[in-house]
């Protein structure tokens, strides 16, 4: 929880670390930029050509140290892939088709040409996988590596998705397959053991996550999603943000399905499937759809080769955000400017903090 309540004023001497990302957004950024079209969504709106070519949108994000680096995957390729994925995932939440990526690299002078090429390979391969490319950028030297990108996309006319527009009784769908990144972490930590080919598949999906660009575009084109957000900081903060944006609460099921190998990892490590599914790192989407559109939405996404499952229902605000046992959901959040903000660390501690499981 943020140390500052929703209604309390924020003085100039309050430190950002005492606020947390949510309070910074509400008390500092919203009063200044709340009137900007698209404020609070995953992407900013650059123009509005609803009747012509659709909205042009943009998003920018930096890339932290990838978890897979802590898991022994030190090839710069993985940081490049993640840099592109992080930004393209925001375009997915807007239902946008990527037009290009502008990248900014600050690199130590000790970086080798080979390391730089591997970083570029990761970015280029990821953008190609998502049907786009790098169109520009900047390079400079600095004491530590800092990677930032801006992704630009185009929405279908009248079809831009955002965090607003959901209503009570809408169903929440999780789009994509959660759990691969932290399953790999549990395997590396030897909390579970699987056959080498299965471990290799989990590693591949952990190191090269796919943004749900095709799914977001399909939902926007079909007019099925009423609100959408990418799961960048975990399932709980995503649902909490969607509820806050629409003045609603939610009831969430803990019976979330995982792919079979990941369910096996949970069983071996003594971890509940919901604990694994609610963690961050797999770049899924949460979308709100009308009850009568749930099956059509699943069918539409299946046509794109994307898994989707119903995980809850939106309810009036006064009912709060709860799990299917009726208890309030006190979920795990990776909130910037807070103790849960991602800065890496030792793997056993991270497993405990993110999954709520103490490594044995």
Q: At what angle do helices 180-188 and 196-207 cross, to 10 degrees?
A: 130
284 is in an annotated binding site: no
**Per-residue pLDDT at 5 exceeds 50:** no
257-316 pLDDT, tens per residue?
Answer: 999 999 999 999 999 999 999 999 999 999 999 999 999 999 999 999 999 999 999 999
The pLDDT value recorded for residue 4 is 41
Q: Look at residue 2 in the predicted model and tell me its pLDDT.
A: 38
Whether the per-residue pLDDT at 50 is higher than 70: the answer is: no
Rounded Cα distance, 334 and 27, in Å: 19
pLDDT confidence band for 357 (50 / 70 / 90): low
Instruction: State mean pLDDT over 234-257.
Output: 96
Structure-model confidence comparison of residues 354 and 38, the more confident one: 354
- In which band, very low, low, confident or very high, does the pLDDT at 317 lie, cut at 50, 70 and 90? very high
Instruction: Give the model's pLDDT for residue 8.
Output: 53
| Residue 137 in marked binding region | yes
φ, ψ for residue 183 (rounded to 5)? Answer: -65, -40
Average pLDDT estimate for 207-219: 97
Distance of alpha carbon 78 from alpha carbon 99, whole angstroms: 22
Query: Is 138 labelled as part of a ligand binding site?
Result: yes
Q: Is 264 annotated as a binding residue?
A: no
- What is the pLDDT averaged over residues 104-126? 91
Task: Compare 36 and 191 and report the one with higher pLDDT.
Answer: 191
Query: What are the structural domain ranges in the chain?
Result: 36-154, 171-355
> Contact 155/95 with Cβ under 8 angstroms?
yes
Report pLDDT for 163.
95
pLDDT of residue 42: 59
Using 50, 70 and 90 to split pLDDT, how confident is the model at 135?
confident
233 is an annotated ligand-binding site residue: yes
3-state secondary structure 218-287: HHHHHCCCCEEEECCCCHHHHHHHHHHHHCEEEEECCCCCCCHHHHHHHHHHCCCHHHHHCCCCCCCEEE
Q: What is the mean pLDDT of residues 119-131?
A: 95
Q: Which is higher by pLDDT, 96 or 331?
A: 96
The 3-state DSSP composition of the chain as helix, strand, coil percent (nearest 5) reads: 40, 20, 40
338 assigned binding-site residue: no
Rounded to whole angstroms, the Cα distance separating 25 from 22 reads: 5
At residue 234, the pLDDT reads 93
The DSSP bridge partners found for residue 288 are: 172, 227
Neighbours of 274 (CB within 10 A): 21
Backbone φ, ψ for residue 144 (5° rounding): -135, 155
Using the predicted structure, report yes or no on whether residue 241 has a pLDDT greater than 90.
Answer: yes
- Across the range 153-166, mean pLDDT stands at 94
User: Would you say 163 is a known binding-site residue?
Assistant: yes
Mean per-residue pLDDT of the chain = 89
What is the share, in percent, of the chain residues with pLDDT greater than 70?
90
The Cα–Cα gap between 207 and 1 comes to 31
Terminal-to-terminal C-alpha distance of the chain: 28
Give the residue, 322 or 347, on which the prediction is more confident. Answer: 322
Is 61 known to sit in a ligand binding site? yes
325 labelled ligand-binding: no
Are 213 and 131 within 8 A, CB to CB? Answer: yes
Question: β-strands 97-107, 134-141: how paired?
Answer: parallel
Q: Assign a CATH topology to domain 171-355.
A: Phosphoribosyl-aminoimidazole Synthetase; Chain A, domain 2 (3.90.650)
Range in 158-167, 295-304, 326-335 the model is least confident about: 326-335
Q: Does domain 36-154 correspond to CATH entry 3.30.1330.10? A: yes
Of 6-10, 55-59, 211-215, highest mean pLDDT: 211-215
Place 247 in a pLDDT band, splitting at 50, 70 and 90: very high
Q: How far is the C-alpha of 127 from the C-alpha of 112, rounded, in Å?
A: 23
- Say what the pLDDT of residue 52 is: 56
Residue (of 310, 127, 235) closest to 301 by Cα position:
310
**Two tokens, residue 9:** 């004023």
Which residues make Cβ contacts (< 8 Å) with residue 164, sequence separation at least 6? 40, 41, 227, 245, 246
Same fold, 36-154 and 171-355: no
pLDDT at 358: 43
Region of poorest pLDDT, from 10-14, 24-28, 82-86, 332-336 = 332-336
> Is residue 329 marked as binding?
yes
> Residue 39 — pLDDT band, cuts 50, 70, 90?
confident
42 annotated to bind ligand: yes
Alpha-carbon span 283 to 175, nearest angstrom: 9
Torsion angles phi and psi, residue 356, rounded to 5: 70, 25
- Residues 291 and 313: their CA atoms lie apart, in Å, by 9
């Amino acid at each position: 929880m943020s140390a500052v309540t929703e209604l309390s004023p924020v003085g100039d001497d309050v430190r950002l670390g005492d606020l947390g990302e949510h309070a910074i957004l509400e008390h500092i950024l919203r009063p200044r930029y709340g009137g900007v079209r698209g404020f609070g969504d995953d992407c900013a709106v650059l123009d509005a050509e609803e009747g012509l070519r659709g909205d042009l949108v943009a998003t920018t994000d930096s890339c932290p140290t990838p978890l897979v680096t802590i898991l022994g995957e030190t090839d710069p390729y993985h940081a490049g892939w993640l840099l592109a994925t992080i930004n393209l995932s925001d375009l997915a939440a807007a239902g946008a088709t990527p037009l290009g990526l502008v990248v900014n690299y600050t690199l130590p002078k000790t970086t080798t040409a080979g390391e730089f090429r591997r970083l570029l390979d990761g970015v280029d391969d990821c953008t190609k996988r998502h049907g786009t490319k790098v169109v520009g950028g900047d390079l400079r030297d600095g004491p530590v590596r800092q990677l930032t990108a801006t992704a630009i996309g185009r929405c279908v006319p009248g079809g831009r998705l955002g965090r607003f527009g959901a209503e009570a009784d809408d169903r929440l769908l999780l789009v994509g397959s959660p759990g691969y990144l932290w399953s790999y972490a549990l395997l590396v930590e030897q909390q579970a053991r699987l056959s080498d080919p299965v471990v290799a598949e989990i590693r591949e999906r952990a190191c090269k996550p796919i943004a749900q660009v095709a799914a977001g575009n399909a939902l926007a084109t079909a007019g099925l999603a009423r609100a959408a957000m990418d799961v960048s900081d975990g399932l709980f903060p995503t649902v909490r943000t969607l509820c806050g944006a629409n003045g609603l609460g939610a009831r969430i099921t803990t019976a979330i399905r995982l792919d079979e190998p990941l369910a096996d990892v949970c069983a071996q490590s003594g971890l509940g499937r919901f604990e694994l599914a609610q963690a961050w790192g797999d770049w899924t989407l949460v979308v709100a759809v009308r009850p009568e559109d749930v099956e059509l939405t699943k069918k539409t996404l299946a046509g794109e080769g994307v898994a989707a499952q119903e995980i809850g229902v939106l309810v009036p605000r006064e009912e709060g955000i709860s799990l299917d046992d009726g208890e309030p959901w006190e979920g795990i959040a990776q909130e910037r400017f807070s103790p849960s903000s991602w800065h890496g660390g030792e793997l056993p501690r991270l497993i405990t903090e993110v999954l709520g499981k103490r490594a044995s």
